Amino acid sequence: MKNLSVIGSGVMGRGIAYVAALSDFQVNVHDIKQKALDNAKSYIENEFKKSAARGFIQAADVDKAINNLTYHVDLKESVKDADIVIEAVLEKIELKIDIFKKLDEYCPAHTILATNTSTMSPTEIGAQTSRADQVIAMHFFNPVHKMKLIEIIKGLDTSAETVEITKAVGARLGKETVEVNEFPGFVTSRMNCLIGNEAMNMLLEGVASAEDIDKALKLGLNHPMGPLELADLVGLDSRLRNMEYLYETLGEKYRPCPLLIKYVKAGKLGRKSGSGFYNYEENKG
C-alpha cells in the first residue's frame, strides 16, 4: 500500500489527507473546486506547522509529509495509481454512487474503494460498481488527527480480504478499528445523531440554554464534548443530511429537530460558517 487518494477536500477529506501524509502514504487529494483544494492545502500545511511547534511531530517530518501530498481537480489523474481511495464528499447517495462509478472506471483493478459516509450503505454504493467485493465504508471521526477510531463497515459483498486490508490501513494511520455489519447509521452515527437531536429538541422546548445542556452532558454524563458543540463541529448541514437519512431508513425516532432545519436554512452551519448553536466568528472559513 503506497498510494492513497482522497475524494473531497472539506472538513473530513483534509483531515484524512493530513494523517495519511504523516503515515507516509503518497496522497492525492481531489475536489471539484480548486478553491476547496487551495483551502485544504493551506489548512493541512498550517496544521503540520502547529503540530511541529507543539512538539507532536518532528520538523523534518513536516517537509516529508508536505512532499507526500498532491492536489488535483482532475479525478482521473488523482486516482490512476491508487491502492486505496477514500471518498469524503457530501452525504448524498446519488453523488457518492456517481463518484464510485467513475472510480470503478478510472482506478486499477486492485484498488479498494472506501467511503467515509456517516450513515449510508456501502452495499448500495458497491452494487453500482463491478467490484462490490472491494467496496467498504471507513467512517473516520472529526477532527481526524485527534480521534482514535475508524468504524469499518462491511457491505453484503465486501470480501474478508478487503476488510483485513482496510483494517491494516487503519492501523497504519494510527487508528483503532471496529468492524460493523452494515445497518443505517452503523454504531456511532445512530447513537450520536439521536443524542444531538434530543439536545436540540430540549433547546427548542426551553429546557435549558445551549451552554447548560452541553455542560450537563460533559460534567454529569462524562461526555468529552457537549452534543450542541459537537453538532457545530460536525457541520449542521452534514448533521441534517444524516438525520434525514436515518429518519428515512429507521423511522420517526430520527425526525430532524425543526431548530436544526431552521439553522441550516439560515446558513448557520456551525464552526465552518462562523455560527451555529455558538458563535465562532474568529474561526470562520
Query: In angstroms, rounded to a whole number, what is the distance separating the alpha carbons of residues 260 and 201?
Result: 9
* Geometric angle at alpha carbon 254, from 276 and 217, rounded to 5°: 55
- Residue 18: CB minimum distance to ligand NAD, A: 13
- The residues binding ligand NAD (CB under 6 A) are 7-13, 30-33, 36, 88-91, 95, 99, 116-118, 139-142, 234-235, 238
Q: Closer to ligand NAD at the Cβ: 13 or 226?
A: 13
Query: In angstroms, rounded to a whole number, what is the distance separating the alpha carbons of residues 221 and 103?
Result: 43
Q: Closer to ligand NAD at the Cβ: 11 or 217?
A: 11
- Residue 188: CB minimum distance to ligand NAD, A: 9
Q: Closer to ligand NAD at the Cβ: 35 or 60?
A: 35
- Residue 220: CB minimum distance to ligand NAD, A: 24
Q: Closer to ligand NAD at the Cβ: 9 or 166?
A: 9
- Residue 81: CB minimum distance to ligand NAD, A: 18
Please give the residue whose beta carbon sits closest to ligand NAD in the complex.
10
Q: Closer to ligand NAD at the Cβ: 90 or 221?
A: 90
Q: What are phi and psi of 137, to 5 degrees?
A: -105, 135
- Residue 48: CB minimum distance to ligand NAD, A: 19
Torsion of CA 158, 90, 149, 196, to 10 degrees: -120
Indicate the SS3 state at residue 180: strand
Which grid coordinates are listed for 277?
Answer: 448553536
* Geometric angle at alpha carbon 14, from 254 and 10, rounded to 5°: 50
Identify the H or E element spanning 138: strand 135-139
- Residue 152: CB minimum distance to ligand NAD, A: 13
Residue 143: is the preceding peptide bond cis (ω within 30°)?
A: yes
Q: What are phi and psi of 31, to 5 degrees?
A: -145, 155
Q: Closer to ligand NAD at the Cβ: 35 or 54?
A: 35
